[in-house]
Amino acid sequence: MHIKEGFILRRIPGMNIVMPTGENIRHFRNAVRLNDTAALVFEKLQQGESAGDAAGALASKYGIDIREATEDVESVIGDFLELGLAGE
């Protein structure tokens, strides 16, 4: 799983926004607002880390069970796939 080329995450105080860049602007005209959990997952995947690594980071940051973090990451990845931000 990876974040597709041509998307960047911008953190603005109080907001996390993914915006298309380059050729993606023509095909993906909207920005996507992410909560802090989704932004963390986006960053991890964009850095080439696995979903498991993202779940570990999420569990560590928020002090939650790894099972719960894994479920959250899987849900976020599903959303990214639907939006066209991620690919296999």
**Domain locations along the chain:** 2-87
- The reported pLDDT for the residue numbered 37 is 95
- The reported pLDDT for the residue numbered 23 is 85
Neighbours of 88 (CB within 10 A): 5
- The reported pLDDT for the residue numbered 6 is 93
CA distance between the termini of the chain: 5
Q: Exposed (0-12), middle (13-18) or buried (19+): which is 53, by Cβ within 10 Å?
A: middle
With vertex at residue 45, the alpha carbon angle to CA 39 and CA 51, rounded to the nearest 5 degrees, is: 100
Q: Tell me the whole-structure pTM to 2 decimals.
A: 0.92
3-state SS assignment for residue 63:
coil
Dihedral of CA 74/76/80/82: which sign? positive
Provide the CATH number for the domain formed by 2-87 in this structure: 1.10.10
Weakly modelled stretches of the chain, pLDDT under 50: none
- The reported pLDDT for the residue numbered 25 is 85
